[in-house]
Amino acid sequence: MGPISPIRPISPISPIRPIGPITPINPHYPTMPNLKNLAKDTAIYGVSSIVGRFLNYFMVTLYTNYMPKESGDYGVSVNIYAYTALALAILTFGMETTLFRFANKEGEKPDTVFSTAMAVVGSLSVLFLACVFGFINPISNALGYADHHEYLQMMATVVALDAIQAIPFSYLRFQKRPIKFASLKFLFILLNIALNLLYFVVLGKTTVYYVFLINLWCTTLITFFFVPDFFKVKWQVDFSLLRRMLTYSWPILVLSIAGILNQTADKIIFPLVSDTADAKAQLGVYGACVKVAMIMAMITQAFRYAYEPIVFSKAKDRDSKEYYAHAMKYFIIFTLFAFLVVMGYMDLIQFIIGAEYREGLVAVPIVMAAEIMMGIYFNLSFWYKLIDQTTWGAWFSLAGCVVLIAINVLFIPKYGYMACAWGGFAGYATSMVLSYFVGQRLNPIDYDLKGIFTYILLAAVLFVAMESLPASWPTWLHLVLNTGLIALFLFELIRKDLPLHSLPVIGKRFKKK
């Protein structure tokens, strides 16, 4: 469980309900109870992700202020965490989504699905550790860490434990046990921050070695909290079920690898192809500034963990496609609003990272736009998951990955980390467009394209207006004017698609027209 990695939030699973009367849908704004439940779940179960992410931003502030840019240590952490994210995607083998799919199927025993998934992930994790420790010299040499075997050994152990934890964490979501889920997530991040403050601020340690060591301690501790749960499960591996789960999960594995590469390939490739002497330092600058853009990833992740279980449980409802279409529209609106907020208050948000690293903030709007497209691609992915044709997702993600890698390899030597930002943008755009057009042929959903593009155009105009403000104007004036521009977006949203009376809790205070 990496300190810079996002914390996976929780989400309950709605039971599959019998088909009943279809609730009429207002074409201007949906009032379906399930859509409100989605908003509530995203808020509630995104708390651990949101709070954890902001606590992790504090870690970025700590590292970029205590690790000098010239040392390249922060760049080392960015590089190695990119490798661990890729390894984690491989070791979990798509079993998180597969667990939800099969645990919700009629006739399947959830405990058997859980133990079968654990058998796959546990075996892969043990094999991974054996390979890393057995071949540490050639692996370290190939990755450029011949003098620091301990970095790779510590992080290999962390990623193996994190993969093993991923399945019981997913099972907690399935069992609707949010308190334990959130408690463990908060315990990890709070302990991690406390130890980092002790080592970096109190003891004056300023090397990346302690980042990895603390991560190892905290991840090991969290793993022990799952031991009681392991004894409560009736362990049984059903080989017939295993074959069906692997058939379902391997395309998700390919999709996950391609998806992770879309997020991390630039950080892996950069030190390999950059022709600058301070490649690790420049990677540190880019990695630090990307953390600002990861606010969008946090929102997408919170939405994902609330939305994914609901999608599978709602698949048999007659109004499911209308629900998916509305959810897509409001996801895009919310992420566009978040984009404007981040860009509008960048004069304040920039203090998240150390002054030496802020030169890379120019890449933030590009990376945030890429993250929005990644979220749209996630929403589009359900058409093939629900008809059990997950191989489509593998092809779409691979196509995006090829575009990303090509742009990075070709343009990093000339344009540096800006090529990384644009490579991610182009990669996600490729996957998103392919998924939309193929999906509309094989499992069409009537998305409100006119409404969606209206909001996109409005957000683009407001962003250009923000960027056009003279740099010589005082910060307070920038903030006031940007707040006004953000308010315009909200006004349009309330006017067209989210009337105040439809809001939970406070909606009753407003009269319905």
Tell me what pLDDT residue 504 has: 54
Closest CA to 51 of 298, 307, 364: 298
Tell me what pLDDT residue 203 has: 92
Identify which of 29-38, 201-210, 324-333, 389-398 has the greatest average pLDDT: 201-210
DSSP per position, 213-254: HHHHHHHHHHHHTTHHHHHHS-----HHHHHHHHHHHHHHHH
- Does residue 26 surpass a pLDDT of 60? no
- 450, with CB counted inside 10 A (0-12, 13-18, 19+), is exposed
- C-alpha to C-alpha distance for 461 and 482, rounded to whole angstroms: 12
One-letter-per-residue 3-state SS of 262-299: HHHHHHHHHHHHCCCCCHHHHHHHHHHHHHHHHHHHHH
Tell me what pLDDT residue 15 has: 34
Q: Give the model's confidence band at 19: pLDDT under 50 very low, under 70 low, under 90 confident, else very high.
A: very low
Q: Give the model's confidence band at 23: pLDDT under 50 very low, under 70 low, under 90 confident, else very high.
A: very low
- Does residue 177 surpass a pLDDT of 90? no
Q: Which carries the bigger pLDDT value, residue 219 or residue 56? A: 219
Identify which of 3-17, 69-83, 226-240 has the greatest average pLDDT: 69-83
Q: Mean pLDDT score of the chain, rounded to an integer?
A: 82
Identify which of 171-175, 307-311, 416-420 has the greatest average pLDDT: 416-420
One-letter-per-residue 3-state SS of 359-413: HHHHHHHHHHHHHHHHHHHHHHCHHHHHCCCCHHHHHHHHHHHHHHHHHHHHHHH
Torsion sign (Cα): 86, 383, 310, 512: positive
Q: Flag the least confident range among 63-72, 245-254, 383-392, 414-423.
A: 383-392
Tell me what pLDDT residue 178 has: 73
Tell me what pLDDT residue 31 has: 42
Q: Calculate mean pLDDT across residues 15-42.
A: 44
Q: What tens digit of pLDDT does each residue of 465-483 get?
A: 999 999 899 999 999 999 9
Q: Are 187 and 194 in contact (CB under 8 A)?
A: no
Q: Calculate mean pLDDT across residues 266-280.
A: 83
Q: What tens digit of pLDDT does each residue of 478-508 get?
A: 999 999 999 999 998 888 877 665 555 555 5
Q: What tens digit of pLDDT does each residue of 288-308 get?
A: 888 888 777 777 666 666 665
End-to-end CA distance of the chain: 49
Tell me what pLDDT residue 201 has: 92
At residue 367, the 3 state secondary structure works out as helix
Q: Give the model's confidence band at 4: pLDDT under 50 very low, under 70 low, under 90 confident, else very high.
A: very low
Q: Flag the least confident range among 144-153, 159-168, 190-199, 324-333.
A: 324-333
Q: Calculate mean pLDDT across residues 392-414.
A: 90
Tell me what pLDDT residue 53 has: 64
Share of the chain above pLDDT 70, in %: 81
- Does residue 48 surpass a pLDDT of 70? no
Q: What tens digit of pLDDT does each residue of 50-105 get?
A: 666 666 677 888 999 999 888 889 999 999 999 999 999 999 988 888 887 888 77
Q: What phi and psi, each to the nearest 5 degrees, are found at residue 385?
A: -70, -40
Supply the pTM of this predicted model: 0.75
Tell me what pLDDT residue 429 has: 94
- Does residue 199 surpass a pLDDT of 90? yes
Q: Give the model's confidence band at 462: pLDDT under 50 very low, under 70 low, under 90 confident, else very high.
A: very high
Tell me what pLDDT residue 334 has: 86
Q: Give the model's confidence band at 155: pLDDT under 50 very low, under 70 low, under 90 confident, else very high.
A: very high
Q: Which carries the bigger pLDDT value, residue 121 or residue 229? A: 121
Which residues, at least 6 apart from 297, have a Cβ–Cβ distance to it below 8 Å? 6, 371, 374
